[in-house]
Chains A and B, each alone.
Chain A
């Protein structure tokens, strides 16, 4: 038995595909199945069975299953959740409808705000009031809670969210209301804002709490089914769920806080990129995941993806900020834009070529697929430019029609219908859009992009990564292998972790250090207990972060707080930690102003899967191309001879000169003329800028 290698399973259920990865020691098996919407566990279990058979392994040999799912996300976007009630402070039933009372688009008179998950008739106010400092101003009207329960009962409510003003400062009213609701409505799930998202700002907190309540019955039922099916099949190992933050948690916690699962797939992708960064020793990384419909961009520093407390699900309107439902949860910080291989090109009222956010998807797909699509897409442009071989697409499974692609582009009507230039235009605009999103995202994070390594994955990324890197001034691009199931691989690199965030406003020059120490200790023990439940006895790391700002500013920046008991004298340490973080973000001088801390986060995590640093690459021979193809170059507008290489022909150490195309089954890597490429020890393609 001792000789058996460690077997671990990663399972990512996405909107279209269910990806399963089985790692047995160093070996990796993977498969992709269509997601089975009616019972998502079916595709998962089918895929697992397939891979176990392939690897000749029994369920009992599996030591860990990590699972991520878009079940909660889809339920929120498609509004397929439970009938949900919302109990709130009298006078504030409309917080969910009011939001920020603003329009997310200045000029669009036809815009609509996202509709609340709970209809107004099921949003009920009850008397009782807590002040900003947690002191009770008006006692809770318990009879009012009971009568609200009556309304919920007659309306067939399956799940109730409770959100009172300032409950982050004092949860007593919410807890008492929950006790009463539990008595009156046995079997109905309850979500309290003081537990789901105990942070100041009522719209975001209530939105998060109602979203949690809305998906809870669905996710709970699914996870229990999956758990019991796995047990029946003989899996004795733990089942962990991937969180939006990039950490793992147990089924029980996931079932209590399902809203924390919404970004599990993209978080897995970010962890995947982070593990590649760690293998290559890249400290500063920009991860770019380009699929058919969207591109996701994430910054990774020192092996850790940037994190955030804010996410919007279901941005309806051109991915505009404010057009989705805000969720205040720990989440890998990333920006998602409507730019991918299927993105449709059009001409706007100002005569400008635009690309996306609308996508042709896989049906009807790009014009070149010949499935009825007539509008030009990024893929059509890539074909006309010469980057994609029409006869060797998707391993030859699908023959493309370059004439249809060219005709669709010419139909845009700009520039004398010159399909070659239009194709370059589409490519340039989509690359510019991605580069711009990365740059603005970096500013929002107080970070820079030009000194980063670009790690690009997803079907369309290798075609565009080099040019995006040129636009961002980036000097190194890594195209990993196994990227097709990147998220599921990432799941297996994630630590078991839990993050607790609470608001506790104080000025750094007026700290009661004993009180703060107790506050943080309390958070740490809550997080530790939740990690213990999933990973008892494993070595763990605690991290404390404070979100603070100069008094008067509107945005907080995170700074590190020592993960230990605080003692007198630490006040100065906190101040200097803030000033250092501020200077790093904004470059400017520190200001002679008071600093206030608003929110505190404590994360407890097991030490992650140890990354084995890849051996340094020994530069090998310069390979000569197997052939050549004329490819249009966006920098000059002319056709150039690109060298052709098959990825399967290349071995670690091989080097080749740009401009070149490296062709594989699922995609093609463009090595533009400013880059050379090499294959590293793990078989990844690494583009490096030519010496000037």
Chain B
């Protein structure tokens, strides 16, 4: 075999491995019970080599999990050495500090065998809606209040499920059958992937993945390094003050691009809080590297080599590197702001490809109330959750996307589905005119959401919203995005975080924030301004005041 042909084969196998993990992810979505996995795609699926290096990862998935699991697998290997594994073994944890940053994310790792020996490890990491405890809000005062903690454990030994563990799990959650069904679906998808991998090795006449893994890592590493080498070298800082829980939180980032490496350090960031918006370093790294890779190396497939040149550090005990046993359940509130910090640094180094700040934090509306009279479950309490997104930041040559999640990868559920599962009525979900930051490129629009009980009874909201006090900031002359707003339909403002009541006959109104603008608004093409007016994205008054638009028909 010539060297060229060998490389050809390795590329074909690489393509195949990405297909195998995509199949793994699809199997998971098909069989899962949690809405977060099946509808919203809040999951990741991946293949690791025997050193715990990420080799291939499914395209389907969300950034928060991806890079978190990448660093988590070696913890499994430390505790359960490869040499001790037998077919039918599966391992589990939801330790926030080892994997994806809160108890709701459960990771299952399974060895893949070929010819009697372990050749790789398949892993899935999925968001469970229910893990016991208080539920996914910021109100827990420590990890112990947030739900069941599963340390690194065997989920199955030689094909025999760990029934003791499953019994404890089922006893600790509100919906035991669904949670158990979910955990079993993780096993199914890893097993299917392992079969596929073994068949692939047979087809290509290989005994193991060693050479291919090396090739994938090397190729991705050198491609990423080449991209980094083309960047200006130096150090840049940015700062972002966010609403926080009850007082502002300051996040400080310093980016260093140095030859073949990119480092992000969060020294100067505020300390952690006794509220569950703290971020573990793994999760901090996940969203930071996601933001960096979106700009620096978006085309390189995600794996150990593609991630290696990126280093993320944060002071121990800061809100971006929280230690046990501080609470972490709603860590996405801060985690999803990190790409904006990344963009803040990168825009000083390479302004061209970098977007402005966006609304960033997903507005996930969690409601609690009582089932109405006449219903079979009258008087019992219910929980409902639905996702809403604000505007993304203006992009270098395009406007920001309106009401679209970034950096989160989740999808919103249909209003009709939400209303058929809970006694609520969503009265409005409509784009908010003038909410996009002004600029040559306009920020994406936010949206207004109005919701109440169908019978007008009282209910509660578990608020965890951001950018209410401090909007997404414009750049290079572009304006800020609109602030978010949380209030009663009758007018009274509500807090952006924490449990609050909506009284009888009233409704909850949310203005989800807009994205920020980029560049001088006076440089915006008149045609774009007129389109915005005709679509109702920008009102005539604002067009005149902000963009200097002169009506040709006036």
Contacts and interface: CB of A to CB of B under 8 A. Distances in A.
Contact of A554 (B38, B63, B220, B389): B38
A129 interface: yes
A103 B401 contact: yes
A607 B62 CA distance: 47
B429 interface: yes
Interface in A410-439: 414-416, 418, 421, 424-425, 428-429, 432-433, 435-436, 439
Q: Chain A interface: which size bin?
A: 35 or more
Contacts of B198: none
A452 interface: no
Nearest to B303: A350
A120 B534 CA distance: 8
B494 interface: no
Contact of B430 (A93, A101, A110): A93
Contacts of A554: 29, 32, 35, 37-39
A203 B414 contact: yes
A550 B33 contact: yes
Nearest to B298: A107
A162 B75 CA distance: 56
A424 B8 contact: yes
A589 B410 CA distance: 29
Given A94-B430, A107-B298, A428-B12, A350 B395 contact: no
A54 interface: no
Interface in B230-257: none
B307 interface: no
Contact of B534 (A119, A435, A591): A119
B14 A120 contact: no
A153 interface: no
Interface stretch (A208-216, A273-281, A440-448, A487-495): A440-448
B300 interface: yes
Interface stretch (B15-23, B102-110, B142-150, B272-280): B15-23
A360 B410 CA distance: 35
Given A421-B5, A429-B11, A588-B31, A101 B297 contact: no
A91 B19 contact: no
Interface in B401-440: 401-406, 409-412, 414-417, 419-420, 425, 427-431
Contacts of B8: 353, 415, 421, 424-425, 428, 637
A473 to B, nearest CB: 7
A201 interface: yes
Contacts of B11: 352-353, 425, 429
A131 B14 contact: no
Interface string B299-334: 111000010000000000000000000000000000
A133 B387 CA distance: 22
A112 interface: yes
Interface string A630-650: 000000010000000000000
Contacts of B406: 103
A612 interface: no
B353 to A, nearest CB: 8
B405 A101 contact: yes
A351 interface: yes
17 contacts: A91-B430, A95-B415, A101-B411, A103-B409, A106-B61, A109-B294, A112-B398, A129-B425, A131-B425, A200-B416, A421-B2, A424-B5, A473-B203, A550-B181, A553-B31, A591-B181, A637-B2
Interface string B151-162: 000000000000
A351 B412 contact: no
A611 to B, nearest CB: 33
B175 interface: yes
Contacts of B219: 350-352
A1 interface: no
Given A109-B294, A552-B33, A586-B31, A202 B414 contact: yes
A91 B489 CA distance: 14
Contacts of A505: 420
B539 interface: no
A505 B19 CA distance: 35
A243 to B, nearest CB: 26
Nearest to A320: B59
Nearest to B405: A102
B4 A415 contact: yes
B454 interface: yes
A113 B401 contact: yes
A446 B63 CA distance: 27
A102 B7 contact: no
Given A107-B294, A592-B177, A120 B420 contact: no
A692 to B, nearest CB: 13
A97 interface: yes
B7 A555 contact: no
Contacts of A433: 15
Contacts of A132: 416, 419-420
Given A109-B294, A349-B227, A550-B181, A416 B415 contact: no
Interface string A186-205: 00000000000000111100
Interface string B163-207: 000000000000101100100110010000000000100010000
Contact of A436 (B16, B295, B409, B534): B16
B38 A555 contact: yes
B27 interface: yes
